[in-house]
Amino acid sequence: MKILLVGSGGREHALALKLKAGQTPVELFAAPGSDAIGELASCLPLGIEDIDGIAAWCAAAGPDLVVIGPEGPLVAGLADALRALGISVFGHDAATARLEGSKSFAKNFMQRHGIPCAASGTYTAFEAAEATIRTWPLGYPIVLKADGLAAGKGVVLAESRQEALDTLRSFLSGAFGEASRTVVLEEPLVGMELSLHVLVDVTTDHLRYAILPSCQDHKRLLEGDRGPNTGGMGAFGPIPFLRPEDLERIRTELVEPTLRGCQQEGLVARGVFFLGVMWTSAGPKLLEYNVRFGDPETQVLMELLDENLAELLLEVAEGRLSHETVRIKAGCAIAVVLAAEGYPESAKKGVPIEIRAPCCTVIHAGTRKVQERWTTHGGRVLNLTTLASDLTAARALAQADFDEVSWPGMQLRRDIGLRAQRHAEARRSVQDPW
Ligand code: AMP
Ligand code: GLY
């Protein structure tokens, strides 16, 4: 099967490894890929947003499947352009990708379809938003969200009125260009956050999906969930204390209404939805939609998945998903992010990496090979990923590798999964305080 993978990060390296590991022989191409992905694929000199260039390559090369990793090209209409050429694409059309590309569109969608979520309002005028903040009735922190894509930096949890007003002013004056000229103000939700990925194949005449294992990401830079927000410092899954009946609630209260809503509104969905969920004292509430796989959640999911990924994604792309449940390996998987000095504000590039004899799989998220030596080339540089019998064992395996990979200034969290491990050991459920 000839496959083009769009993207270049850790998510795409993990997808590339899994695509090549299935029974189906895969001839893999990547746009643009990376030096690590280049060990598995032919990398094309095409950027992820180069819709014309990617379409021209597909028209000439005729891949059997295109898998689009990041949200940017989905929102920009890459999938639409390729489908217009008759190419099978795993990834949503632009109309469906608005669920991630516009927070106000997503919130209105949730409200139209009765999906439990935080109360919110959408603003484009400073005065109206300012008046709301001055009489804010929903408690602190006030959650401010830039409407559009802002490279993971468009959400601020403001602890004070002043911080909220400063953020509002900066957003509306174009801190993220057009993406922040509309702002959503939202009620803060308290609870346990989880990532739920669902493979979706929805058209006006059918609705099929397969739910993947629950994961938990760790957004804060520092141990104990302190420090600035990042793209994610590590993840594990499945969450050990999430019972089948809890997942059933998420399925009936969040997943099914979303997919029926897409169907009613004529939003064709052929790809993955990644629901950001907060399990509150009132049960699961939807924080946000992503229309792509999470990073580093994908690294965890690829460890757990016991399927031929190329065939599975092709089924979705061709609108013939036959799996209601996908085969999942027993145990628990973990991904620990090794980040560059200075991340998340900046990242020190070009630092040589020492890789000794790790037992974990080493996923490359931001590296470059310079004279046969791997060097840092991004914020999140490498991920250590592994599967073990349970969360405690998975954490121990990752821990054992922390000295096997290093470079000066490397940052990592040694507590990925620790809070969940303790919660499970204390026999607490998801209903108990987190
Ligand atoms: P997003 O960029 O939409 O993924 O949001 C980034 C993070 O902000 C989420 O992963 C949550 O941790 C947090 N967040 C978003 N909305 C809320 C909310 N209403 N209440 C509390 N935290 C939130
Ligand atoms: N790990 C969170 C994300 O991919 O958005």
Backbone dihedral angles phi then psi of residue 408, each to the nearest 5 degrees: -60, 125
- pLDDT category of residue 151 using cuts at 50, 70 and 90: confident
- pLDDT category of residue 152 using cuts at 50, 70 and 90: confident
Residue 78 tokens read as 């890459």
Is the CB of residue 186 below 6 angstroms from any atom belonging to ligand 1? yes
Q: Does residue 153 have a pLDDT over 90?
A: no
Q: Which amino acid is at 432?
A: D
| pLDDT tens per residue, range 187-209 | 999 999 999 999 999 999 999 99
Q: Please state the atom number of ligand 1 nearest to the C-alpha of residue 189.
A: 20
Question: 157 alpha carbon to ligand 1 midpoint, in Å?
Answer: 8
pLDDT at 215: 98
Where in the chain are all domains bearing CATH 3.30.1490.20? 120-186
Q: Does residue 239 have a pLDDT over 90?
A: yes
Q: Please state the atom number of ligand 2 nearest to the C-alpha of residue 290.
A: 5
- Among protein residues, the one with the nearest Cα to ligand 2's atom 4 is 294
Q: Does residue 52 have a pLDDT over 90?
A: yes
Q: Does residue 324 have a pLDDT over 90?
A: no
Instruction: Write the DSSP string, 245-312.
Output: HHHHHHIIIIIHHHHHHHHHTT--EEEEEEEEEEEETTEEEEEEEESS--TTHHHHHHHHB-S-HHHH
- Can the peptide bond before residue 45 be classed as cis, meaning omega within 30 degrees of 0? no
407-389-223 Cα angle (round to 5): 40
Is the CB of residue 73 below 6 angstroms from any atom belonging to ligand 2? no
Find, among 109, 387, 344, the residue nearest to 231 by Cα: 344
- Among protein residues, the one with the nearest Cα to ligand 1's atom 7 is 155
Question: 294 alpha carbon to ligand 2 midpoint, in Å?
Answer: 4
Q: Please state the atom number of ligand 1 nearest to the C-alpha of residue 120.
A: 19
Find, among 52, 110, 64, the residue nearest to 310 by Cα: 64
Mean pLDDT throughout 256-283?
A: 98
Q: What percent of the chain has pLDDT over 90?
A: 98
Q: 67 in helix, strand or coil?
A: strand
Sheet of 234-237, strands arranged across:
216-217, 234-237, 332-339, 380-388, 361-364
pLDDT at 2: 98
CA distance 246 to 249: 5
pLDDT at 127: 97
In this structure, the number of other CB atoms found within 10 A of the CB of residue 304 comes to: 20
Nearest-ligand number for the alpha carbon of 10: 2
Is the CB of residue 295 below 6 angstroms from any atom belonging to ligand 2? yes
182-114-251 Cα angle (round to 5): 110
- Among protein residues, the one with the nearest Cα to ligand 2's atom 5 is 294
Mean pLDDT throughout 77-83?
A: 98
Q: Does residue 376 have a pLDDT over 90?
A: yes
Question: 231 alpha carbon to ligand 2 midpoint, in Å?
Answer: 6
Q: 84 in helix, strand or coil?
A: coil
Q: Does residue 7 have a pLDDT over 90?
A: yes
Is the CB of residue 184 below 6 angstroms from any atom belonging to ligand 1? no
Question: 145 alpha carbon to ligand 1 midpoint, in Å?
Answer: 9
Mean pLDDT throughout 38-42?
A: 98
Is the CB of residue 71 below 6 angstroms from any atom belonging to ligand 2? no
Which overall architecture, per CATH, does domain 120-186 show? 2-Layer Sandwich (3.30)
Chain mean pLDDT for the chain: 97
Is the CB of residue 118 below 6 angstroms from any atom belonging to ligand 1? yes
**Class for domain 2-99, per CATH?**
alpha beta
- Among protein residues, the one with the nearest Cα to ligand 1's atom 13 is 155
- Among protein residues, the one with the nearest Cα to ligand 1's atom 14 is 287
Is the CB of residue 77 below 6 angstroms from any atom belonging to ligand 1? no
Q: Does residue 119 have a pLDDT over 90?
A: yes
Find, among 349, 329, 332, 352, the residue nearest to 340 by Cα: 349
- Its pTM surpasses 0.75: yes
**SS3 sequence of 5-61:** EEECCHHHHHHHHHHHHCCCCCEEEEEECCCCHHHCCEECCCCCCCHHHHHHHHHHH
Q: Please state the atom number of ligand 2 nearest to the C-alpha of residue 297.
A: 1
pLDDT at 390: 98
Where in the chain are all domains bearing CATH 3.40.50.20? 2-99
Q: Please state the atom number of ligand 2 nearest to the C-alpha of residue 294.
A: 4
pLDDT at 178: 95
CA distance 162 to 20: 52
- Among protein residues, the one with the nearest Cα to ligand 2's atom 3 is 294
Nearest-ligand number for the alpha carbon of 380: 2
pLDDT at 382: 98
Q: How far is CA 35 from the centre of its chain?
A: 22
- Among protein residues, the one with the nearest Cα to ligand 2's atom 2 is 294
Q: Does residue 271 have a pLDDT over 90?
A: yes
Q: Which amino acid is at 198?
A: V
Nearest-ligand number for the alpha carbon of 194: 1
